[in-house]
């Protein structure tokens, strides 16, 4: 079976080395040496000021909202994985959907502006499939209206805008290091900020608010990463260039073969693709279902990320329908892309698509 993705599994003997070091130190969680080493390496690799590792991308978002005091209505995108909105709701915020741009699939800055009211507390855009949002327009708007911005950068590991990591934008950017991600720690995530005080607050918050044995200055939660996850992350990071270049080969093949016959996500000239996902847009939902079932019949399992548009979920209703998001959600298919996908396999994917359009 060819699935939409497969986690990168690093050389087992290298992982064994890290596992042995965990056995030797007896430290398995609570900011152990491997978590510290991975934080250091990722901070340098992504060239960001502060990066704090957490247990998953959803708690990264929840801690971010809480640390920034986001409370009330929050403008976000209906075209994302459900965790972007459900994390807001879980923290008693009300997601207000602004529609997306039809070519980039990212929240439209103009639509965000139209939704700002006195009740708005923050903006949570997503760099969908790693594609950088309109970060400058969003920053200007947030400054003008005194709003906090949390970028859900779950897909944006290694994405760059104007030569720097797009994760350095916003009050906070978050990452997911779930197994299905380009860079992963089995389960995991990170919170990124350039603000020293905020970074300190986040570090306390993810550790129950505990500063030391005698002092618990604020209310926190347990969102820490453990040492086994960090060990996996260190090994995956060693292989990151292989992971990126093999994904790039698959992505380029899809683009060359399919750009004339299906729709592709538009990236600005100033952004660098990280090849995290390979979405295509079919001409109609009927055509999508035909292509998908032909692929499925051959054991190929692309995914409808993200269907349905989140404004259709029963617990996220009450917003006016977002037409562009609904239209894209009905016609999008994410094709298999991962480093161990063989050329004959992605050639087969393309051939089946071509013969079913």
Which residues contact ligand T4K (rule: CB under 6 A)?
A: 3-7, 56-58, 80-81, 83-84, 126, 152, 154-155, 176, 178-180, 189, 301, 303, 305
Lay out the sheet containing 73-76: strands in order across. Answer: 50-54, 189-193, 172-176, 148-152, 120-124, 73-76, 94-97
* Nearest residue (CB) to ligand T4K, 163 versus 345: 345
Lay out the sheet containing 263-264: strands in order across. Answer: 263-264, 279-281, 332-334
By three-state DSSP, how is residue 31 classified?
Answer: coil
* Nearest residue (CB) to ligand T4K, 32 versus 57: 57
Structure tokens at 294: 């032909």
Separation in Å, CA 343 to CA 89, 249, 331? 43, 9, 26
Q: How many helices (H) and strands (E) does the chain have?
A: 12, 15
* Nearest residue (CB) to ligand T4K, 83 versus 332: 83
Q: Residue of minimal CB distance from ligand T4K?
A: 57
* Nearest residue (CB) to ligand T4K, 21 versus 232: 232
* Nearest residue (CB) to ligand T4K, 118 versus 288: 288
Give the shortest CB-353-to-ligand T4K separation in angstroms: 19
CA distance 259 to 244: 21
Give the shortest CB-176-to-ligand T4K separation in angstroms: 3
Give the shortest CB-174-to-ligand T4K separation in angstroms: 8
* Nearest residue (CB) to ligand T4K, 27 versus 267: 267
Burial class (CB in 10 A: 0-12, 13-18, 19+), 320: exposed
Give the shortest CB-26-to-ligand T4K separation in angstroms: 28
Answer yes or no: are the C-beta atoms of 306 and 277 closer than 8 Å: no
Give the shortest CB-4-to-ligand T4K separation in angstroms: 5
Structure tokens at 104: 């980039």
Give the shortest CB-324-to-ligand T4K separation in angstroms: 18
Peptide linkage before 269 cis (omega within 30 of 0)? no
CA distance 215 to 61: 25
Compute CA 345 distance to the chain's CA centroid, rounded to the nearest angstrom: 26
E strands present in 144-242: 148-152, 160-161, 164-165, 172-176, 189-193
* Nearest residue (CB) to ligand T4K, 5 versus 165: 5
Give the shortest CB-55-to-ligand T4K separation in angstroms: 9
Give the shortest CB-115-to-ligand T4K separation in angstroms: 20
* Nearest residue (CB) to ligand T4K, 251 versus 277: 277
Q: Which residues contact 355 (CB under 8 A, 6 or more apart)?
A: 294
């Amino acid at each position: 079976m060819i699935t939409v993705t497969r986690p990168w599994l690093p050389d087992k003997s290298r992982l064994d080395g890290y596992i042995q070091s965990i056995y030797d130190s007896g430290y398995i969680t609570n900011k152990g040496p491997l978590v510290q080493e991975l934080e250091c390496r990722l901070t340098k690799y992504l060239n960001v000021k502060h990066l704090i590792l957490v247990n998953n991308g959803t708690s990264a978002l929840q801690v971010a909202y809480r640390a920034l005091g986001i409370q009330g209505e929050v403008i976000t995108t209906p075209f994302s994985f459900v965790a972007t909105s459900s994390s807001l709701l879980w923290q008693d915020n009300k997601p207000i959907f602004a529609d997306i741009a039809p070519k980039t699939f990212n929240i439209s800055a103009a639509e965000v502006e139209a939704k700002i009211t006195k009740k708005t507390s923050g903006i949570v855009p997503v760099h969908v499939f790693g594609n950088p949002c309109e970060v400058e327009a969003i920053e200007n708007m947030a400054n003008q209206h005194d709003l906090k911005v949390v970028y859900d950068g779950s897909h944006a590991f290694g994405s760059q805008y104007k030569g720097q990591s797009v994760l350095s934008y916003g009050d906070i950017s978050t990452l997911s290091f779930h197994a299905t991600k380009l860079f992963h720690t089995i389960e995991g995530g990170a919170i990124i900020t350039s603000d020293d005080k905020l970074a300190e607050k986040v570090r306390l918050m993810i550790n129950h608010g505990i500063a030391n044995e005698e002092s618990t200055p604020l209310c926190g939660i347990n969102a820490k990463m453990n040492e086994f996850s960090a060990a996996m992350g260190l090994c995956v990071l060693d292989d990151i260039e292989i992971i990126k270049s093999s994904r790039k080969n698959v992505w380029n093949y899809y683009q060359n073969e399919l750009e004339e016959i299906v729709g592709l996500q538009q990236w600005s000239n100033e952004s660098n693709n990280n090849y995290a996902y390979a979405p295509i847009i079919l001409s109609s939902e009927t055509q999508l279902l035909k292509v998908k079932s032909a692929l499925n019949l051959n054991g190929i399992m692309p995914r409808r990320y993200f269907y349905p548009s989140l404004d259709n979920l029963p617990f996220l209703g009450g917003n006016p329908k977002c037409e562009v998001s609904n239209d894209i959600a009905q016609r999008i298919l994410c094709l298999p892309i991962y480093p161990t996908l063989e050329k004959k396999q992605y050639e087969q994917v393309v051939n089946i698509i071509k013969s079913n359009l």
